[in-house]
Amino acid sequence: MSGTKQAAPAGSAPRPQQGGGDGPGRRLITYLEPGGLGGGLPTAGTTVLAVAVALVLSSLLVAATGGSPSDAVRALFEGSLGGSTAWSSTLLYTAPLLLVAVGACISTRAGVFNLGQEGQLLIGALAGAWVALRLAVPGPALLLIALVAAMVAGGAWAGLSSLMHRWRGVNIVVSTLLMTFLAQQLVAFAVTTPWLLQETRLGNATVSPQSNKLPEGALLGSLGQYPNLQINGGLLIALLAAVVIAVLIARSRWGFRLTMLGLNPRAARHAGVRVAAMAGAALALSGAFAGLAGAILLTSPVGTNRLQAGISTNIGWDGLLVALVARNRPLLAIPVALLFGVLRSGGGFLAATGVPAFLVDVVKSLLVLAFVIPPVAVAAVRRRKEARRASAQAAPARVPEEAAL
């Protein structure tokens, strides 16, 4: 997975994480190490070990609760990769996950931690559904307008947090988090309110808390129908987004400034980066990608093609986890999003084996820990070793210095 050359070369010595508190305007922004995988072989080894531990723990959990781990693994596999329909559903889940993750890569690289993708995704889906159901534009144009509307809406929703931070110093992490709950209720409100998006009543039919079905023209079609395998347009959009953003981050001036901003905002300011505007734009852009993910979910077959309060099924949260595991590298996010897609579509098949599908959430979070902890742990051990060596060398060296005085 040595995919790209990033601004920070992979395999270089792990850089100490930025401590915060960099001037009053920036202190709420948190840092992640946006560099490469770092640490080289020890990290890779520890990661493999940690993943193994996570899988063993999950199997033990299944066994301890009276299930059969091998059945569970088989069901996960059958439901996600065992056949073309299973593959189709895996790929359909991968697309929105990847889009959310690409957005998260952008904001986190800029040193802004967006915790509200779930809400931005819902707002995107809401805007997309509204446009698709209300505008009388024919065919593909409608789809395009819906996708753009979703991006704008998601970006604006995230932008609100950015504005609140800029004007009133509101903590971005907390505001994006709280805005998620607002978004959830907003969507719930929209789909239970007849004059907004609730299903139209035909005769005496009862209506559900959901919107009408989107018109055919607004649905993302399958590009190419191989024997039962559907490659949905959404996947192509997501892959394209990942590649474009990866190239922009690695090669463009914007990407360099973004990364510099995340690594050292003070240096970025001195270098003439308009810090606040850049960080705000990064947050809005990550919201826009989450919004697009919402529209793609809505218009693709796994999203029921209706706006429902539960349409997101935590894809916003999961997309964020994908970005974490991929350590904010859009290209690395592709295989990770696929892995999460596998867990999602495989999870549906678990119940048949008597193992509750909630197991997938446990596996997912253990895997995230298994990917996130090792690089940091290896770096910490190395740092401690270096400090010990430094102090061992410094001690005798100081004596002649003092003697010379």
Which residue in 68, 236, 377, 382 binds another protein (CB under 8 A)?
377
Strand 222-226, strand 229-232: pairing: antiparallel
Instruction: Give the DSSP H/E element, type plus range, for residue 98.
Output: helix 84-109
- Determine the residue type at 268: A
Instruction: Give the DSSP H/E element, type plus range, for residue 268.
Output: helix 265-270
Strand partners, 225: 230
Q: How far apart are CA 186 and CA 282, in angstroms?
A: 24
**171 lies in the site for another protein, by CB under 8 A:** yes
Taking contact as CB under 8 A, which single stretch among the options 82-90, 121-129, 229-237, 367-375 is the one that binds another protein?
367-375
**61 lies in the site for another protein, by CB under 8 A:** yes
Instruction: Give the DSSP H/E element, type plus range, for residue 231.
Output: strand 229-232
**380 lies in the site for another protein, by CB under 8 A:** yes
Q: Which is nearer to another protein, 29 or 150 (CB)?
A: 29
106-145 residues near another protein, rule: CB under 8 A: 113, 115
Residues in the chain: 405
Q: Where are the beta strands (DSSP E) in 244-307?
A: none
Contacts of 236 (CB under 8 A, 6+ apart): 223
**16 lies in the site for another protein, by CB under 8 A:** yes
**320 lies in the site for another protein, by CB under 8 A:** yes
Taking contact as CB under 8 A, which single stretch among the options 24-32, 144-152, 220-228, 249-257 is the one that binds another protein?
24-32
182-221 residues near another protein, rule: CB under 8 A: 182, 185-186, 188-189, 192
Q: Which is nearer to another protein, 387 or 392 (CB)?
A: 387
Which residue in 7, 10, 32, 76 binds another protein (CB under 8 A)?
32
Q: What minimum distance in Å lies between the beta carbon of 402 and another protein?
A: 23
Contact yes or no for 337/321 (Cβ under 8 A): no
Residue 6 φ/ψ, nearest 5 degrees: -95, 175
**365 lies in the site for another protein, by CB under 8 A:** yes
What b-and-e string marks burial along 142-180, b requiring 16 or more CB atoms within 10 Å of the CB? Answer: bbebbbbbbbbbbbbbbbbbbbbbeeeebbbbebbbbbb
- Residues making contact with another protein (CB under 8 A): 16-21, 24, 27-28, 30-32, 61, 65-67, 113, 115, 164, 167-171, 173-175, 177-179, 181-182, 185-186, 188-189, 192, 317, 320-321, 324, 356, 358-362, 364-366, 368-369, 372-373, 376-377, 380
